[in-house]
A and B are shown apart, each in its own frame.
Chain A
Amino acid sequence: MPGSTRAFITNNLRAPILFRPGSALDFISSRPLGGAGAIIIVLMIAAALLANFFAPYDPLANNYGAMFEAPGVHHWLGTDSFGRDVLSRILYGSRTALWVGFCSSLFGTSIGALIGVSCAYFGGKADLFMQRLMDILLSFPLIVLALVVVAVSGSGLWNVILAITIPMIPRAALVVRSSALALRQMLFVEAALTLGSSHWRVISRHMLPNVMAPYLIMLTAFLGQAILLEASLSFLGLGVAEPTAAWGLMLRGAAVEFAERAPWMALFPGLAISLAVFAFNVFGDSLRDALDPKLRLP
């Protein structure tokens, strides 16, 4: 991979060796933006988990007697072109968004971290080979790779997760590898090796826990991106399928077709996406500031 990418990532995401979490309250009070993000995220998770209790209607039930109803007493956020309740669909939609977001960023970052750490640990030819492989994946722009993967595997929830996971792997691997490279030279790793620990044991016990900070930073950064990417794929008709409640899907067609007749159909899901991505971004940012001493103020 181009040296500049590496340089950038190592310079800017250099993480402390040990992860020392401060208390949540401290975090919120010292970083109001990140705190706000955290609160929105918590609310979102609650909405997703409790959608069956909160949602006033069945998100899938068509009601042709109530098409395009404006926000009001019966439907707080109005109804869509099939007479489905927008609020209920947004609440259930947060499940899809979080599910796609968490799964793909978790898989992407974890697989990436494992590859990164292994590369740093073993070094040599295997490392070089994996690096070239990651370079190849990395040189596909994110959406291009996602498009190709969806085109190959078809749409549907798990295929979308796959399509978003794959481009994240090389990015995570690169970051984690650069942190792990420094670890490899550390005394305690050397010590573990001389004590006769197996490769797997050294990797899992000593190296992986110590790349937690860049891992978490990547995870939160990818979460927002994954939600946005899912919306873009849905917009291009390659995301999850109707009638599943999903924010990106709610915008597909509706954002344009009925923008004037029923602006609420496009407004609220759009807002939900922006708010979620915004929350994950500011939270991730603050997390990075908190974990990265280089950028911390004196």
Chain B
Amino acid sequence: MVISIKAIMSRGFILSLLAIGAPAVLPAAEAPRPGGELVFAVGEIPPSFDGHRETTFGMLHPIAPHYSTLLRFDPQNYPKIVGDVAETWSFSRDGLTLTVKIRKGIKFHDGTPLTAHDVKATYDKIIFPPEGVASARKALYSMVDKVEAPDDLTVVFKLKHIAASFLANLASPWNFIYSAERLKKDPRWYEKNVMGSGPFIFVEHVAGSHWVGKKNPAYFMPGRPYLDGFRAIFIRDTAPRVAAVRSGQAVVEFRGFNPAARDDIVKTLGNKAVVQESPWACNILVTLNNEKKPFSDARVRRALTLAIDRNEASKALAQISVMKYIGGVFRPGSEFATPPAELIKLPGFGKDINAARNEAKRLLKEAGVPEGFSFVLKNRNVKEPYEVSGVYLVDQWRKIGLNVTHTPLEGGPYFNDLRQGNFDAGVDFDCEFMDEPDLYLLKYLSSEASPVNYARYKDATLDELYERQSRMLDVKDRLPLIRQMERRAIGEQAYQFPLLWWQRIVPHSSRLKGWKIGPSHYVNQDLRDVWLAP
């Protein structure tokens, strides 16, 4: 992963992202300065406080600082996995048993010790939720047979089969470790209460307004956290959120802004602005209803992806939206990303758009699609990047003689229509917390096998390849299978295909130190290494 951190020297001038593959540029080490309250903006309000149940960063950003997880991603060396409450861990020789040793002396905020039993209770709640308890990511742990805690400091995960993604899933930022005792009394206690072992203790929450935490003096890492406390301000509309950073009322907004907002912030803050940028683990995906004619014909689907000028899009749309990078099924810059030489062979990813459009027209003709054929593109009514994608796609398809109606919908009806198959084409997205093929490829499995694939097709080849790659531990073994899946899913068959990958842009005040951008806005939000310059 590559990051560029550029202090802005002269007024309003921004250096764009360094080329992928260049060494990371980090500011000279400064001695962290303890103290101060970090004020940051959050663009969503937390629904319940239960990390195991919720799916929005609006819950993670204010609440993650209160909790520890078993493992975590090393923010300085993503995607390296390091321990949080785990001290060491090891797999058995057959790869079916993971034994994790817990650090000694970790305490919850109420003073009770955190033991292996708490970890077991936490993962039991996530993987085997009791009746009446919701668990959002249960399906990711289907390989787990059982969780055991033989003594106070040892947790053992027994697996049904080898699973490449298992360890990384234990670093999931959502898996807050809860107290077994509290869960026993009420498995839903954590929906309305906060009590963890993280670097910050809960102080106050005013619904819809702000969330306050203070330093946990008994935090298990000596000298951390640096901050005396933090205050998250909820600002749902983009304009006031940008204004908050510009006026200095908030030091940062961690999710990210688009280029226009970045320029405005830099213009106002001048040399007090720092911009961190990274390719984002999110993409915009064009999904087609494979059950409907003429989208049931692979030629038509290929024509639709051929018609999209991704090279132009990556230049033009990067100025007006968070979309920027051309990529296949995986995040450009990640270890699984499609090599450029292979990428340009995929339909719609080549360099010659005129040839591609002619080919698209030929395919449509061959498939018997009449000139001026009309269909509806369903979308979310979120300006950025969804509606921007919609406008772009409609214009691109117009160029091969298709007449597309753009229909942005509110979230509720939109997801309902996509899930029910009530659409021709849709603007979908894929946003994960890590670059794990098991997560991204799930989108392309047969629709029956995948709750997130709305394209309504059945493809046994893809399912079989997925199964095989997910049970291999070595990346080198997985890669050929992954490439094969990619070629089939977005190339030959073009069931659904990415438009562009996003760029994550976090402009912030130069006072914020010790925070490094990563490809996911879900990860690295416990704020324990963050400090404030005077």
- A residues with a Cβ closer than 8 A to B are 60-62, 64, 67, 81-82, 150-151, 154-156, 237-238, 241-243, 252-253, 256-258, 260-261
Of all chain A residues, the one with the shortest Cβ separation from B381 is A237
Q: Which of B242, B395, B409, B413 contacts A60 (CB 8 A)?
A: B395
Bound complex: CA A227 to CA B242 (Å): 29
Q: Which of B261, B315, B395 has the most CB of A within 10 A?
A: B395
Assuming A62-B392, A155-B409, A243-B406, what are 20 further A-B pairs, CB within 8 angstroms? A60-B398, A62-B391, A64-B315, A64-B316, A81-B319, A81-B320, A82-B391, A151-B410, A151-B412, A154-B407, A237-B410, A241-B406, A241-B407, A241-B408, A242-B391, A242-B406, A243-B395, A257-B239, A257-B258, A260-B267
Q: Are B320 and A67 in contact (CB under 8 A)?
A: yes
User: Which chain A positions have C-beta within 8 A of B382?
Assistant: 237
Of all chain B residues, the one with the shortest Cβ separation from A81 is B320
User: Which chain A positions have C-beta within 8 A of B319?
Assistant: 67, 81
Q: Which of B312, B381, B384, B407 contacts A64 (CB 8 A)?
A: B312
User: Which chain A positions have C-beta within 8 A of B238?
Assistant: 256-257
User: Which chain B positions have C-beta within 8 A of A241?
Assistant: 405-408
Q: Are B408 and A237 in contact (CB under 8 A)?
A: yes
* Nearest 4 Cβ contacts at the A-B interface: A64-B316, A256-B239, A237-B381, A62-B395
Q: Are A67 and B316 in contact (CB under 8 A)?
A: yes
User: Which chain B positions have C-beta within 8 A of A154?
Assistant: 407, 409-410, 413
Q: Are A253 and B383 in contact (CB under 8 A)?
A: yes
User: Which chain B positions have C-beta within 8 A of A81?
Assistant: 319-320
Q: Is residue B297 contacting chain A, with contact meaning CB distance below 8 A?
A: no
User: Which chain A positions have C-beta within 8 A of B315?
Assistant: 64
Q: Is residue B359 contacting chain A, with contact meaning CB distance below 8 A?
A: no
Of all chain A residues, the one with the shortest Cβ separation from B395 is A62
Q: Is residue B394 contacting chain A, with contact meaning CB distance below 8 A?
A: yes
User: Which chain A positions have C-beta within 8 A of B260?
Assistant: 257-258, 261
- B residues with a Cβ closer than 8 A to A are 238-239, 242, 258, 260-261, 263-264, 267, 312, 315-316, 319-320, 381-384, 387, 390-392, 394-395, 398, 405-410, 412-413
Number of A-B contacts (CB under 8 A): 68
Bound complex: CA A267 to CA B260 (Å): 17
Q: Are B261 and A257 in contact (CB under 8 A)?
A: yes
26 pairs, A vs B, C-beta closer than 8 Å:
A61-B395, A62-B391, A62-B392, A64-B316, A81-B320, A82-B320, A82-B391, A82-B395, A151-B412, A154-B407, A154-B413, A155-B407, A155-B410, A237-B381, A237-B408, A238-B381, A241-B408, A243-B391, A243-B394, A243-B406, A252-B383, A253-B387, A257-B238, A257-B261, A258-B260, A261-B263
User: Which chain A positions have C-beta within 8 A of B320?
Assistant: 67, 81-82
CB A153 to nearest CB in B, in angstroms, measures 9
Q: A67-B316, A258-B260, A260-B264 are contacts. A253–B410 as well, Cβ < 8 Å? A: no
Bound complex: CA A261 to CA B264 (Å): 9
Bound complex: CA A261 to CA B407 (Å): 28
CB B506 to nearest CB in A, in angstroms, measures 17
User: Which chain B positions have C-beta within 8 A of A252?
Assistant: 383
Bound complex: CA A124 to CA B153 (Å): 81
CB B420 to nearest CB in A, in angstroms, measures 14
User: Which chain B positions have C-beta within 8 A of A156?
Assistant: 407
User: Which chain A positions have C-beta within 8 A of B312?
Assistant: 64
Bound complex: CA A237 to CA B387 (Å): 10
User: Which chain B positions have C-beta within 8 A of A238?
Assistant: 381, 410
Bound complex: CA A221 to CA B320 (Å): 38
Of all chain B residues, the one with the shortest Cβ separation from A152 is B413
Of all chain A residues, the one with the shortest Cβ separation from B390 is A242
Bound complex: CA A6 to CA B398 (Å): 53
CB B319 to nearest CB in A, in angstroms, measures 7
CB B238 to nearest CB in A, in angstroms, measures 7
